[in-house]
Amino acid sequence: MLEKEQLYILDTNVLVEDPEVIFKFPQARLGIPIFVLEELDKIKTESSSRGASARLIARHLDKIRSYGSLKNGVRLENGTQIQILFDISDRVNLAGLKFDITDNRILMLAMAEQQKGHDVTFVTKDINARIKADALGLKSQDYLRGLDLTEKYYKGWQEYDISGMDLRREMPPILKDLAHDKKLVTNEFVALYSQGNEYNNRLFRYRGGGLFKEVVQPNLHWPIKAKNMHQLMALDLLFDNDIPFISLTGPAGTGKTFLTLFVGLYNVLVSEAYYKMTIARSVVPLGHDIGYLPGDVQEKLHGWMQPMYDNVDMIAHLIAHTQSSSFFEKKESGYYEEGRKQKNRRFNKKHHQQQRHHHKDQKIKPVGSLDELIRQHKVSLEAITYMRGRSIARQFIFIDEAQNLTAHEVKTLLSRVAGDSKIILSGDPYQIDVPYLEFSTNGLVVATDRFKGQPIFGSVFMPTSERSELSRLVQELL
């Protein structure tokens, strides 16, 4: 018995989310219904990322048709055969489905192809469309469903309890074992705790090739220290200029935005590793939108960028009070670890005293408001929409709320980064405000999964809120 030919039929929303999808089914036959092209034709005039995706897929198909007839099918170099599908067989009888609804016409076309003897799979992001397909006896799947990362999401760190004797060694034996067994990827952190004394701990970052770097509090001219182990991981990556791409994930209040802004301003104003900091956020409203906003681009962005103003004001306030001895005499909160009942972990006392004396002898230049930094051309607030086509050189680039971006949008942003720039994606993949994105398909998660293990990339999942006790309880209870 001959095996049926496999045919994947793509829905409009799949092409809109990823215009490169037609190149990601090697050795397969892809069918694009003519009704999908009609929907793309309506979308392409939009100024949004959807419109950009529709225009890009049109350019791809226009180039492909130069190799042959899309009606009969064109085979690409990777073995994929792409065909535009037209016919709906008269034999297809789908009572109850209205023909004037595009989704129904696509399903009818898929059923017609199945009746011709093809093994059809309908690929769509639309849950209701998948339910309809199942009811019709048609196989369906969600695009990128294979990327199921909710449970095995890469956190960027591992933690272990070991004996106090092993922890005191210059290189604890467990690190060699983890590297030998290939249980670590490059730039992944290992947090080690002493059994019976959870206040005794050390942090290492794997550099690849069996090599580790011990991570300690940075000794800076500005008054900042990590409040927990995950913040220390984030600072280590943010200050490492050999790592040009970082993703920071986690719930609200964990310090993602504050630490990134702090390090960005420090690298621009103090170390001068970059000449400017560029900040962009995904402008997706929480709740009902308030409608049209007057003014130019910067004025329109002001409301969306209010969290940045708040954090820069906090940084400026800390720096303004840095020479007050009482600031350094305050007791520091310790390391809080998920699953360890939020118990306090004290910082190393000797290091704390060294850092205090180091700051006391320094003349620290105050930091102005965000508006002042913008006027000085030290900071730039950008709309993600207008970053397409740019080449961003020697800048510290911060993209906040990246969980609301598609994989294609993140790809576009990353491709803007010149060799001497650094880009940080930040967001909470469990709080997505865009209807057609999910945990496993948003650009932040996809980029983190694809880049993990690359020497130029590092990631930290930050689970612990340091904003307030209320903020922590909100994450636990709501």
Higher pLDDT, 305 or 31: 31
Q: What is the pLDDT of residues 310-320, one digit of tens each?
A: 999 989 888 88
Q: How confident is the model at residue 390 (pLDDT cuts 50, 70, 90)?
A: confident
Q: Where in the chain is the domain with CATH 3.40.50.1010?
A: 6-141
Q: For the chain, give the mean pLDDT.
A: 81
CATH 3.40.50.300 fits 231-477, yes or no: yes
pLDDT of residue 95: 55
Stretch 127-141: mean pLDDT: 89
Question: Is the pLDDT assigned to residue 334 strictly greater than 60?
Answer: no
Cα–Cα distance measured from residue 146 to residue 181, given in angstroms and rounded to the nearest whole number: 26
Q: What value does the mean pLDDT take over residues 282-290?
A: 50
Q: What pLDDT is recorded for position 303? A: 64
Q: How large is the average pLDDT for residues 381-405?
A: 86
DSSP 118-171: -EEEEE-S-HHHHHHHHHTT-EEE-TTTT---TTT---SEEEEEE-HHHHHSSS
- The tokens for 271 are 């170390």
* 446-477 pLDDT per residue, tens: 999 999 999 999 999 998 887 666 665 655 55
Q: How confident is the model at residue 20 (pLDDT cuts 50, 70, 90)?
A: confident
CB 89, CB 120: distance < 8 Å: no
pLDDT classification of 336: cutoffs 50, 70, 90? very low
Of the candidate ranges 19-23, 158-162, 199-203, 469-473, the one whose mean pLDDT is the lowest: 469-473
Nearest Cα to 263, choosing from 383, 393, 426?
426
pLDDT of residue 333: 37
Alpha-carbon radius of gyration of the chain: 26
Average pLDDT over residues 154-173: 93
pLDDT at 409: 86
Q: What are the tokens at 255?
A: 């310090």
- What is residue 331's predicted lDDT score, i.e. its pLDDT? 38
pLDDT of 40 reads 93
Strand partners, 398: 279, 424
- Backbone phi, psi, residue 350, to 5°: -65, -45
CA distance linking residue 312 with residue 379, whole number of Å: 11
CATH number of 6-141: 3.40.50.1010
Residue extent(s) of CATH 3.40.50.300 domains in the chain: 231-477
- 125 has a pLDDT exceeding 90: no
pLDDT score at 17? 80
pLDDT in tens, 259-275: 999 999 999 999 999 99
Per-residue pLDDT for 148 more than 70? no
Tokens of 51: 């419109």
pLDDT at residue 325 tops 70: no
pLDDT for res 287: 42
Task: Using pLDDT thresholds of 50, 70 and 90, give the confidence band for residue 196.
Answer: confident
Distance CA 409, CA 330 (A): 44
Q: Which of 5-14, 81-90, 93-102, 263-272 has the highest mean pLDDT?
A: 263-272
Measured distance CA(401)–CA(378) in Å, rounded: 22
Q: What is the DSSP letter of 130?
A: H
* 156 C-beta neighbours (distance < 10 Å), count: 26
H/E segment holding residue 31: strand 29-33
pLDDT at 286: 40
More confident residue, 73 or 365: 73
Q: Tokens for 74, please give them.
A: 């064109």
Q: What percentage of the chain has pLDDT greater than the value 90? A: 44
